Amino acid sequence: MDQITQDQAPNAARNQDAVRLSFMSPVSDSSPGRTRRGGPYRGWLDPVGRSRTPGSPSGCTFTCVSAKKTALTVLSAALLAPAVLMASASAPVRAAPTPPPAADGKGQLPKAPDAPAPPPSMSTVGGARLGQPGTQVNPLPGAPALPANLSGRSWIVADAETGEVLAAHNAHWRLPPASTLKMLFADTVLPGLPKDQVHHVTDQDMDGVGPGSSLVGVKEDHDYTVHDLWLGVFLRSGNDAVHVLSAMNGGIDKTVKDMQAHAEELQALDTHVVSPDGYDAPEQVSSAYDLTLIARSGLQKQDFREYCGTAEAKFPGRQEAGRPREYFEIQNTNRLMTGAGGIAPYKGIAGVKNGNTTMAGSTFTGAAQRGDKKLLVTVMNPDNGGLNGVYEETAQLFDWGFAAAGKVKPVGELVPPKSADATPLGSPATSHEKGRPAAGAEASGGGGLGTALGIAGGALALLAGGAFAVNRRWPHGRRGPGGGTDG
C-alpha cells in the first residue's frame, strides 16, 4: 500500500516513534497556562514546556506564545534562506533529456487525462438541486458573483443557523474525506467519555495506526486524560489519539459501527465509514453536504466547540517516575485559524477540521461569523493552490457567503437528524463532562429546535469573550431525507 501523507503535519510525523520523541523537551515553568483560541498566530511552534504541579487539574494546560518567539522563528528562516539558495545555485545541474511525447499516429500529441467527472445524478437529500452536478446558485438582483476559478471538486456554503444552502457545487459527490471524518468520530464518541477520565495506553491501543499517519505523539505505557487525547485529535489530527479513544470506546470495529449509525441518524447518507481517523481506505467516502451536516451537529456540543476552536495547547510528553511530567506545545493544523503556511488568519473563524491524504487531496470544513451571520463552508479536493488551496477557496466562499446573505435564494437545506421531531423543544446541548448543559443553550421560538452554537476564534473571541449562544433552527418543511432519495 502506498504511503499516505495526512494533514500537513511536520516531517517528524512520518515516523511514529520519531514524532513521539521529537517534541518532548524538558519543562521548566510550572505556572498555569491559558487557552488561546483562534487569531493571528503564524508559524509552527517550537517545543516549550510547562509542568503540571501536583494537585493541579488533570488535562492539558494552555499558553500563549509571545510575538517575539514567532518573529525570531521567521527572522531565522529569512536569514537562512539566502545561504540555502546560494548552495543550491553552486551545484551543477544536469537535466536529463526529455523524450518527445508519443504521437497518436496522426501527428497529434496525447491529451492530459481529464479530471474525474461527478456522477450525472446524486443524492437529493436536502433538495433536488443538490443532486445535480455542477454549480447551483439562485442569485437575486444585487447578488455578488461567485468567486472565479474555484477548483474544488465539491463545495457548499450554508447558513449555520437556518440550514439554508446558499450555493453548492457537486454537493453530494461521494469523495474520500481524509481527516474531516474525525468530526464524525468526535460527534459520535465524545459525549460518552468523561473528559477527566485517565487512560493508560497499551501497545494494543495503538494497533492499526497507518503508515504516514499524522500523529500527536501518544506513547505506550503513558497516561493521558480524555481531554488530552481530544486536543491531540483536533489540533494535530493525531491518528494515534483516535486509536486510543476508539479503544476506550470498545475498539475500532465498534467505533466504526457507531459512527456509521450516527451518520445515518444525521441523514449523512453519502458517508461510508471504514476507519475512524479518515485514513485512506477503499470505499471510505463522504460528501461536502454530509461533512457540513456533521460539523453543524458537532458545533452544538460545548466540548466539540472548545476543541475545534483551540489554536494551541500543551500535550503531555515523557512520563518518568519521580519527575514532573513533561509537556510540549501543539498547534492546530487549521491554517485559517493559526496563519501557518503563509495563509492569513480568517477573521471570525471557529474551526472546524481539515484533512489531507493521497486519495482525498485537501479537504476542509470551516465555521465563521461576520456580524450576526454564521456560515459553514466545506471544500473538497481543489486542483489549484497546493496545500493552501483548500484554505484560499474556503476563505473566498466565506467572503462570498457573507456578501450574498439576503441576496440569493437557497438551493437546498441542511436537513435535521431523524430524531429531531421527537426531541423536546428547547433541549439544550450538553457537555460530555458530567452531562452539564452547554453554556448559553436556550430555547428557540418559531417552531425550531433551540440549541447552542458557540462560535469563537480570531477577532470574534475578543468581541464575544470566547463563546456565545445563538438560537439555531432546523429548516422548516419535510422531515424526511430532503424530499428525495439517496442516490
Catalytically active residues, by annotation: 179, 182, 237
HSE on the CB side for 313, CA within 13 Å? 26
Q: With H, G, I as helix, E, B as strand and everything else as coil, classify residue 483.
A: coil
Q: Which residue has the cell 475578543?
A: 462
Round to whole Å and give the CA distance between 407 and 404.
5
Instruction: Kindly give, in sequence order, each residue whose CB lies less than 8 Å from that of residue 465, ignoring residues fewer than 6 positions away.
Output: none
Query: What count of other Cβ atoms lies within 10 Å of the Cβ of residue 181?
Result: 31
Instruction: Kindly give, in sequence order, each residue whose CB lies less than 8 Å from that of residue 24, ignoring residues fewer than 6 positions away.
Output: 47, 217, 317, 318, 326, 328
H-run or E-run covering 417: none
Contact 192, 209 (CB under 8 A): no
Contact 154, 175 (CB under 8 A): yes
Report which of 104, 42, 122, 52 is spatially closest to residue 77, judged by C-alpha positions. 42
Report which of 309, 88, 307 is spatially closest to residue 186, judged by C-alpha positions. 307
Round to whole Å and give the CA distance between 347 and 398.
10
